Structure 1
Amino acid sequence: MTEDKINNDNEVEEKEIDLLDLASRLWDQRRKLIKWSICGAVIGLVVAFSIPREYVTSVTLAPESNGAKLPGGGLGALASMAGINTGAEAGMDAVYPMLYPDVVSSVPFITSLFDVEITTKEDGKKMTVQQFMEDETSAPWWSVILGLPGKLIGLLKSVDEADENHKLDSFQLTQDESLLVDALNQRISAAVDAKTSVVSIDVKMQDPLVSAVLADTVVSRLKEYITAYRTNKAREDLEYAEKLNKEAKDNYYKMQQKYADYLDRNQGIAFHSAQTVKERLANEATLAFNLYNQTAQHVQSAQAKVQETTPVYAIITPPTVPIKPASPKKLLILIGFTFLGFAACAAWILSVSPFLTQYKEKQLAKTAEIRQDGNSTARD
């Protein structure tokens, strides 16, 4: 036991000595550490001021609950509270909140935003989202350098001339349209809280007003899409009920007019055959009226069904024009590059520099041995 304690004490002392030695070597090279840290800070400043400012608009909305009972009764409710999706909502509704991010990132949804009219805050220019992304969105200078090989390869390939009458088709996009869809997908994001089903939508743009307008448009388009899906069956039923009601109305007016014309032509006639026809026409008009009345009630019921199935969304955080840019974080970039400069210098002092010194000493020793061997051979 005593020997183990002595060994442990010796190891601790050796570690302390090693740490002190490392700290002493770094302190001796403090001027170099300061120079490398300053160089890292300068590079950090260049990087921070080269990245364009980005503004983020965040919107949160809560869709109404459909009130569906989860399987398992109380167990289903507990699973819902724990954030576990049991699939009940998915079975009732094919487009439930968990799929909203997929809807927002889909090609048809993104391409529908191309022609949205926006106005920039800085200079008040009016343009579409597609024009803003192509003409007004900038990138860091190094992205231009990194993209040169791709541009050179593109120049070498045969490029088809753009069709002046080309129309946007989400089923078959051009290369530029596909790149624009990818760029917008990187700037428009949607997320859903599994427990509360609260939907969060973030839009990042290089102009604060464009960011807010586009976020509001995305929310509106999403609500329109979900509303159209939810009410699709009810609206089809309403159209069919209105069609039947129109046919019943036309038939009722026709039978009513036919009955009135018969009365005008046979006024004052007391034949039993005339009375029979009169009663028959009256009954047909009554039946037509009853059918018209029933179809009118069906129309009212279908209208109520459309209103019932129309979803309601509570906007928790409405879109507002951001004041401060969300990125770049210049202070964090400065601190990060300064630390990288310090760490790189410390690694050089503690690892690379001793290795190079030992390598040079070995080379000098080999050179001295070769010279000694040459001198001894010459003497012999």
Structure 2
Amino acid sequence: MEKRRSLLSAPSHLEYGHLPTFQDDGIDLLELLSAIWQRKMHILLATTLGSVIALAIAFWLPNVYTSTVMLAPSSDQQGGGLSALASQFGGLASLAGVSLGSTAIDTTAIAIQIGQSRQFAVRFVRDHHLEVPLMAATRMNKKTGKLEIDSDIYNTAEKKWVRKVSEGESVEPTDWELFKVISKIITIEQDKKTGFITVTVDFLSPTIAKQWADWFVDDLNAYMKVRDQIDAKRNINYLKLQLEKTSVTDMQTIFYQLIEEQTKTLMLSEANPEYVFKTLDPAVIAEEKTKPKRALIAVLGTVLGGMLGVLTALIRHAICRRRIAGT
């Protein structure tokens, strides 16, 4: 009982005037603004420095020009007699060991995949001797229009690669290195809605970009043409052998029709240079650069510099505040 009375008579911290005090750890916006204002010169200096660095980078980056070719699947690949035979006699042809193929969409898709492949890209670079401009060019001389070659990578006088590489690596660019670079410069894509194909080339020289775009389309058409010619000749030889072995009239008729269509494929491929892709909008020499966006780089550099300045000011304010609180 006495113990209970002592507890009841003990002073309570909840009585008026004896409320516990808590340290306010909230963010004082006015204090932060004051800290920023006190260090405004430091923020201005950081902003200016960021702007200068961004401008230096923007003007150091070389101009890049874009050349684009708009293509459509060639009318010779739009089905025709071979597709009709594929639907009518495809099963028998498969039994005979002959592939008739399918539609133009398949041919176009195959051509696009080949254009994106490492084998075709490296072959394109090697056939046109693009290794030096691809790997050693730094920028285009605006007065002469010629590419400037980095002498630390390639010696133009001796026509020799002199770049520094790790022990065991090749001084001359490997196929894998060429593919990594060319795949970033030349792209081929198809619009899923329209079916049109776009070949885009980004390079230091507008003239060279246009030339490479033309070469790429020509080489891809030529590659697909040779590929189909080889397949057609092989199919014709095989069908002739099967024709000699069979005495069934219906099978002979089918074989004659298959041989006829394969022969048409050979004739069309030899007569049409735009075998797979027909040019709708040819490449032109660009008059304006595509990259870099110097104004955007300068704005981003200024903003980042200002943000870094404000962040530094707040960090210094927090450090000073802790030191004062510690004393």
TM-score, structure 2 normalization: 0.60
* Residue 225 (structure 1) aligned with residue 223 (structure 2): yes
What code does the residue aligned with 2:134 have?
M
Post-superposition CA distance 1:244-271 (Å, at most 9, x none): xxxxxxxxxxxxxxxxxxxxxxxxxxxx
Q: Check whether the contact 2:44–2:309 (CA below 8 A) recurs between aligned residues.
A: no
Partner of 2:288: 324
Give the Cα–Cα distance (whole angstroms) in 1 for the partners of residues 258 and 198 of structure 2: 39
From 307, 321, 327, the equivalent of 1:358 is 321
Post-superposition CA distance 1:95-147 (Å, at most 9, x none): 54344443123222112222455xxxxxxxxxx312222443469xxxx9xxx
Q: Secondary structure at the match of 2:124?
A: coil
Q: Check whether the contact 1:191–1:200 (CA below 8 A) recurs between aligned residues.
A: yes
Partner of 1:31: 41
Q: Check whether the contact 1:107–1:181 (CA below 8 A) recurs between aligned residues.
A: yes
Give the Cα–Cα distance (whole angstroms) in 1 for the partners of residues 262 and 317 of structure 2: 85
Q: Check whether the contact 1:212–1:320 (CA below 8 A) recurs between aligned residues.
A: yes
Partner of 2:21: none
Give the Cα–Cα distance (whole angstroms) in 2 for the partners of residues 91 and 302 of structure 1: 14
* Residue 51 (structure 1) aligned with residue 52 (structure 2): no
Q: Secondary structure at the match of 1:114?
A: helix
Q: CA separation of 1:318/1:335 partners in 2, compared to 1, >3 Å: closer, same or farther?
A: same
Q: CA offset at residue 178 of structure 1? A: 2.4
Post-superposition CA distance 1:144-181 (Å, at most 9, x none): 9xxxxxx9871xx3567x8xxxxxxxxxxx76332122
Instruction: Give the helix-richer structure, 1 or 2.
Output: 1
Q: Secondary structure at the match of 2:125?
A: coil
Partner of 2:178: 180
From 98, 114, 130, the equivalent of 2:125 is 114
Q: CA separation of 1:346/1:100 partners in 2, compared to 1, >3 Å: closer, same or farther?
A: farther
What code does the residue aligned with 1:345 have?
G
Q: Check whether the contact 1:208–1:323 (CA below 8 A) recurs between aligned residues.
A: yes
**TM-align CA RMSD:** 4.0
Q: Check whether the contact 1:191–1:201 (CA below 8 A) recurs between aligned residues.
A: yes
Partner of 1:266: none
Q: Check whether the contact 2:73–2:104 (CA below 8 A) recurs between aligned residues.
A: no
Aligned length: 242
Q: Check whether the contact 1:101–1:189 (CA below 8 A) recurs between aligned residues.
A: no
* Residue 63 (structure 1) aligned with residue 26 (structure 2): no
Q: CA offset at residue 349 of structure 1? A: 2.1
- Residues 135-150 of structure 1 correspond to what in structure 2 (within 5 A)? 135-137=136-138
Judge which range, 327-336 or 106-115, deviates more.
Answer: 106-115
From 301, 305, 317, the equivalent of 1:341 is 305
Q: CA offset at residue 356 of structure 1? A: 1.4
Q: Secondary structure at the match of 1:201?
A: strand
Partner of 2:205: 207
Q: CA separation of 1:100/1:335 partners in 2, compared to 1, >3 Å: closer, same or farther?
A: farther
Q: CA separation of 1:219/1:359 partners in 2, compared to 1, >3 Å: closer, same or farther?
A: same
Q: Name stretches of at least 5 consecutive residues in structure 1 with no aligned partner.
A: 1-14, 70-89, 118-127, 145-150, 163-173, 244-296, 366-380
Q: CA separation of 1:323/1:138 partners in 2, compared to 1, >3 Å: closer, same or farther?
A: closer
Q: Secondary structure at the match of 1:112?
A: helix
Q: Name stretches of at least 5 consecutive residues in structure 2 with no aligned partner.
A: 1-25, 85-100, 141-151, 153-162, 242-256
What is the percent sequence identity of the aligned residues?
A: 20
What code does the residue aligned with 1:331 have?
A
- Residues 183-202 of structure 1 correspond to what in structure 2 (within 5 A)? 183-202=181-200
Q: Check whether the contact 1:241–1:302 (CA below 8 A) recurs between aligned residues.
A: no
Give the Cα–Cα distance (whole angstroms) in 2 for the partners of residues 222 and 235 of structure 1: 20
Q: CA offset at residue 193 of structure 1? A: 1.3
State the structure with more CA Rg: 1
Q: Secondary structure at the match of 1:328?
A: coil
Q: CA separation of 1:59/1:228 partners in 2, compared to 1, >3 Å: closer, same or farther?
A: same
Give the Cα–Cα distance (whole angstroms) in 2 for the partners of residues 208 and 92 of structure 1: 36
Q: CA offset at residue 362 of structure 1? A: 4.9
Give the Cα–Cα distance (whole angstroms) in 2 for the partners of residues 100 and 18 of structure 1: 64
